[in-house]
């Protein structure tokens, strides 16, 4: 196992490690990376922004002290979520294609990661924490658009239930 860590994706006997490398490989493989270098760079920017947000989102789960964890979740909902909601909402508004997608005129891996992180936030951290997202009609509509993609809709209907 490369780097003695998971995740690892094996393709034709080759091991690909690191979640973001796997994500980008699959995006290129399945035409979910955007068209042209600039759009691909925009996708990379959103994926990196997602990583920053997700890192902040999971920090409370690492905290052993219940009171401190509760305070961290509250702080995350009051400060971090609104910050990233504004960032992603602006990206969505700035897309010159006005397609409802984050980049260009078709679904990209950027849409999928944002769908995943905002879509699961309420179930993971509660309605109060997800408030800024839930009150943003553009992002809620974006998540609805992603959820309506036939393959994603099918997966959501049959996926195993979990906290994450």
Q: Are 137 and 89 in contact (CB under 8 A)?
A: no
Cβ distance 43 to 109 under 8 Å? yes
More confident of the two residues 101 and 2: 101
Strand, coil or helix: what is 53?
helix
CA proximity to 44, closest of 124, 116, 113, 143:
113
Span(s) in the chain for CATH 1.20.1050.10? 36-158
Residue 47 pLDDT greater than 80, yes or no: yes
Encoding tokens for residue 151?
A: 């393959």
How far is residue 64 CA from its own chain's centroid?
A: 25
Distance between CA 101 and CA 95 in Å, rounded?
A: 8
Residue 163: pLDDT band (50, 70, 90) is: low
C-beta separation of 50 from 80 below 8 A: no
1-44 confidence digits (pLDDT tens): 778 888 999 999 999 999 999 999 999 999 999 999 999 999 99
Distance, in Å, from the CA atom of 72 to the CA atom of 127, rounded to the nearest integer, reads 15
- pLDDT grade for 164, boundaries at 50, 70 and 90: low
For domain 36-158, say whether CATH 1.10.10.10 is its number: no
| Cα–Cα distance for residue pair 56/51, rounded to 1 Å | 9
Task: Report the predicted TM-score, pTM, of the whole model to 2 decimal places.
Answer: 0.91
Per-residue pLDDT tens digits for 132-162: 999 999 999 999 999 999 999 999 999 888 7
């Amino acid at each position: 196992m490369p780097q003695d860590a998971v995740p690892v994706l094996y393709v034709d006997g080759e091991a690909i490690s690191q979640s973001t490398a796997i994500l980008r490989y699959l995006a290129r493989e399945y035409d979910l990376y955007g068209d042209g270098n600039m759009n691909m760079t925009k996708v990379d920017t959103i994926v990196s922004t997602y990583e920053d947000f997700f890192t902040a989102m999971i920090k409370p789960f690492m905290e052993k002290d219940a009171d401190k964890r509760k305070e961290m979740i509250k702080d995350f909902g009051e400060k971090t979520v609104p910050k990233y909601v504004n960032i992603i909402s602006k990206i969505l508004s700035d897309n010159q294609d006005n397609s409802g997608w984050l980049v260009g005129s078709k679904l990209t891996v950027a849409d999928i990661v944002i769908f995943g992180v905002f879509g699961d936030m309420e179930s993971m951290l509660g309605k109060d924490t997800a408030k800024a997202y839930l009150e943003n009609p553009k992002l809620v509509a974006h998540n609805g658009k992603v959820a309506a993609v036939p393959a994603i809709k099918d997966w959501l209907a049959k996926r195993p239930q979990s906290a994450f």
